[in-house]
Amino acid sequence: MLKNFKQEMNLPDIIPIFPLEGVVMFPDTYLPLNIFEPRYLKMIEKAISTKNRLVGMIQPYKPNESDDNFNLYNVGCAGKIIKFEETEDNRYLITLKGLSRFNLISEKITDQKFREADICWENFNKDLNNNKNLLDFSTLKITLKKYFKSKDIRANMDVIDSFNDYNFVDQLIMICPIENDEKQLLLETVSISKRTKLLQTILDSHISEANISDISKH
């Protein structure tokens, strides 16, 4: 099934990758990006010249190391460039639509200074089907409101209550100000139902920490 899907979608085994700390993407989500570094401008130019127009988003760890020596996590997500705009000051404004997560096998820096990776899709083959079962996010939404309150984050709660997308939790992970390693752990959690439970646990933990901090201050 995966092999047939790869052939149908012309999924490559080597893609350009964009290491970006604190940024994760999931299948069927949308990620806008502002591209301005010369090497990443070259990366986007190469990506849009290919049939699949894929770019892999992946987090670096130990980001304080020199730019050419940082390590990458083992899991990222590939997205297709579905929107492209060139600005007057020579930036690219693009939007990626998440396709599938992948495992990083190896990577190298190209002559044009951006990174390309040899990747494997196999462990996330369920990302490639169209099964979009709705889940009950009511408990998560209640926890999310408590989390925002504990962090003094202003949010439109009515809008949150109206979200009923099957991948609501994935969209939430992308924008929620949780730790980078927590986002990575969620990214590597295969099923959306398990990600929902894990995110619930992470938010509860942050709420508890905030409550303990408030008590200690008084």
pLDDT digits 0-9 by tens, 75-102:
999 999 999 999 999 999 999 999 999 9
Both 102 and 185 in one domain: the answer is no
In a domain, 132, yes or no: no
In a domain, 133, yes or no: no
User: Which CATH number goes with the domain that contains 90?
Assistant: 2.30.130.40
- The full 3-state SS of 9-72, as one line of letters, equals HCCCCEEEEEECCCCCCCCCCEEEEEECCHHHHHHHHHHHCCCCCEEEEECEECCCCCCCCCEE
Q: What domain count does the chain have?
A: 2
pTM of the model: 0.88
Confidence of residue 209 (pLDDT cuts 50, 70, 90): confident
Confidence of residue 135 (pLDDT cuts 50, 70, 90): confident
DSSP letters, 151-213, are TT----HHHHHH---TTHHHHHHHHS---HHHHHHHHH--SHHHHHHHHHHHHHHHHHHHHHH
In a domain, 182, yes or no: yes
In a domain, 189, yes or no: yes
Domain that holds residue 21: 2-127
Both 106 and 190 in one domain: the answer is no
